[in-house]
Structure 1
């Protein structure tokens, strides 16, 4: 395995998640603070672009250039307007939503986990719902023990979902209407516990691993191609930068789902690693 230099771009945050590259900035969420933050890696400047009291608090970019934000507590999908205001894009019907990814046609996939926060155990398997561009919502996949990160392949044909509790990546074909079919295990990760994921130009997936304190690159089928070791839990990753060859990782020191503060206060960091294969697909 190649040895990577891991650079710290930003420190002192809480539970950091949902990194997304857009324009020339990295956007990520600080779940502890209820903030969506934009970071200019070149200048080292960061600013809060939205505040939403939600945990989880995940985001992605619509093809029209507007940011979509999952307000899990309220069961809403919000859209950030050009003036910074937030409006309702879709009513998801109930609370408890987690990650989000938008494909190139404007189809938005949002997943939810059904678990007991006091024990951290799943009450029943989670699901994935589709929000179409007209704002309608329907469930398109179920029986995912704990759905976490999601990504769409470069050709737009496949949605890959991280199932943290089953230690696997699950793939679905995306239909003309945005529906999902042809479910299969894309990769069995053994002891790997995937959280946020992204896809590269060779159709490999990088997944962040909280208990494993690492980010791992795998091929379809599960062969390990690369690994970045961390000194704290890796929550999510995305390939960005001017050439999409910078792997941005958000990481923090994990305490546990049943703790009053799930990560050590101030341990949340934004990290950067230069890799050989550029990003592709979405996010």
Structure 2
């Protein structure tokens, strides 16, 4: 397989870039700078970028149908209107003050999923070690109510569903594992947890699912992407 990689020269640099997300409806690429407390957008037609400052650490930006952005921030999910530049709390899923949000995506049914972790960023932006498995995986409904589906997580990463919507992929970077679950959208509930990938270069970070059911996983500490087949082969 031949992969072409193109550098986006006009994109602003980040202290800790995270969560690139293609917003097809708006024709733009979204991403955040966790430590820099910035949300970025690159417009595909004009090549122009926009930035919005946030008052807290921000780890993901997910577009809503209304045009708002759902921001996974340090202590919860916030609804941000990029035109009015207004911000309001939508959900505080994880009540542990020593944790922070890290991963956030929508499932095929449009519900928000949030992965949290032991906060590894000091108030001055300096890194600090992850020493606790106190994070979790939460699902958030349209009314802002949340439910925890998994606990005992150190560093939540990767939220990706198979093209048929029957499998969920989720990682704990501290354990160097990517898990796969059978996904029931009615609950939603997770079943039949299995290790999908263990080990490899670096540690598993965020992922994207392609149309063929292959999982593209960014490897923190190894400066690479690995494409995993549905059977786990790289």
TM bucket (normalised to shorter chain) is 0.7 to 0.9
For residue 124 of structure 2, what is the aligned residue in structure 1? Answer: none
Gaps of 5+ in 2: 122-126
TM-superposition CA deviations, 1:104-142 (whole Å, max 9, x none): 323211111126656523322531011112211111012
Return closer, same or farther for 1:63/1:186 CA change in 2, 3 Å cut-off.
farther
Partner of 1:195: 205
Contact 1:63–1:106 under 8 Å retained in 2? no
Aligned-residue offset at 1:219: 1.3
Q: 1:46 to 1:173 in 2, by over 3 A?
A: same
User: CA offset at residue 148 of structure 1?
Assistant: 1.4
Q: Take 2:13 and 2:73, find their aligned partners in 1: how far apart are those partners?
A: 24
Q: Does 2:118 correspond to 1:114?
A: yes
The alignment partner of 2:131 has SS state of strand
Which segment drifts farther, 16-25 or 146-155?
A: 146-155
8 Å contact kept, 1:141–1:180 = no
CA contact (8 A) 1:63 1:104 kept: no
Q: Is the 8 A contact 1:188 1:221 kept in 2?
A: no
Query: What corresponds to 1:90 in structure 2?
Result: 91
Residue segments in structure 1 that go unaligned for 5+ positions in a row? 225-283
Retained in 2: the 8 A contact 1:16–1:30?
A: yes
Counterpart of 1:12 in structure 2 is 13
Normalised to the residue count of structure 2, the TM-score between the two structures is 0.82
Shift of 1:3: 6.0
Residue aligning to 1:205: 215
Moved more, 93-102 or 196-205: 93-102
The 1:94/1:145 distance shift into structure 2, 3 A limit, reads closer
Are the equivalent residues in 2 in contact too, given 1:100–1:111 (CA < 8 A)? yes
SS of the equivalent of 2:39 reads strand
TM-score (norm 1): 0.69
Q: 2:69 aligns with which of 67, 70, 95?
A: 67
Aligned length: 221
RMSD between aligned alpha carbons? 2.4
- Go from structure 1 to structure 2 and tell me whether the alpha carbon gap of 1:192 and 1:80 turns closer, same or farther (over 3 Å shift): same
- Larger relative contact order (Cα-Cα within 8 Å, sequence gap ≥ 6): 1
Measure the CA separation in 2 of the matches of 1:70 and 1:3.
Answer: 31
Residue 37 of structure 1 and its aligned partner are, at CA, apart by 1.0
Match of 1:57 in 2: 59
Q: 1:80: which partner in 2?
A: 80
1:205–1:63: structure 2 CA closer, same or farther, 3 Å change rule?
A: farther
Shift of 1:6: 3.4
Pairwise CA distance, 1:194: 1.3
1:59-118 CA-partner distances (Å, limit 9, x unpaired): 22335553210121xx22111236332222212234422110112323211111126656
2:27 to 18, 24, 27: 24
Q: 1:151 to 1:54 in 2, by over 3 A?
A: farther
**What's the counterpart of residue 238 of structure 1?**
none
